[in-house]
Amino acid sequence: MKIIIADDHWVVRQSLKHVVRRLDQTLETYEAETFGELTQLLEEHPDVSLILLDLVMPGFEELGGLSALRTKFPDVPVVVVSVHEDVDHVIRAVEQGVIGYIPKSADGAEVERALERVLAGEVSFPRRIIERSSAPPARKKEAPSDRDLDKLTERERDVLALLGSGASVKNIAERLGLSSQTVRIHLGNAMKKLNIQDRSGAVHYAITHFGRTTDAAN
């Protein structure tokens, strides 16, 4: 299994490499400190199994760069390792299909747990960020509750569960044997039933109720 650690700070790369090798000595690790080096490595090693990606490095424009990377290499799983610790960055990264998000402020134990889950084929998102909301109290009262799940059909639950695991609409369609348009219809119906106004809200709800989160307290 090959992993690329893409970050312009060598200390971060060495720290992540140390954690990865402690979890599995058989893993092959490669390093990139620019977007150009990252794409070159991906072209040289099409069998890369995972990218640990910083959103801020030369030639990489944060979420725009992530979108470009996912477009060019859609099949390589990505875990974001970032200084950004706000819900918006996490949700928008998930919308691009990342399977994990690790804040750089996370301690060693939290980072190790997150990577352990990802290497085991799961997803991992930071609970302390996901559960943080900037919505005013009036909107919080209108937020969907666990009981609202009873309103959903089995297929709508399936779509939300996969959305919460970091899958894109295209990936969900492939895994459920549906068209992308049908997935969007199921998602739209679920959003109406749950009183969710936009896609970001749907992603937030899906991660909170169906996705795997990690924190030092877990």
Instruction: Give exposure, 195-211, as e/b (b: 16+ Cβ within 10 Å).
Output: ebeebebbbbbbbbbbb
Q: In what order do the strands lie in the sheet with 48-53?
A: 28-32, 2-6, 48-53, 78-82, 100-103
Strand partners, 91: none
Question: In this structure, what token pair is assigned to residue 71?
Answer: 């477009």
The model scores a pTM over 0.85:
no
Tell me the per-residue pLDDT of 28-61, one tens digit each, with 9 for 90 and over.
999 999 999 999 999 999 999 999 999 888 888 7
Could you give all domains of the chain from N- to C-terminal order, each with its CATH number? 2-132 (3.40.50.2300), 137-213 (1.10.10.10)
Q: For position 217, what pLDDT does the model report? A: 38
Q: For position 176, what pLDDT does the model report? A: 92
Tell me the per-residue pLDDT of 110-138, one tens digit each, with 9 for 90 and over.
888 888 888 887 778 877 776 664 443 33
3-state secondary structure of 26: coil
Q: For position 215, what pLDDT does the model report? A: 60
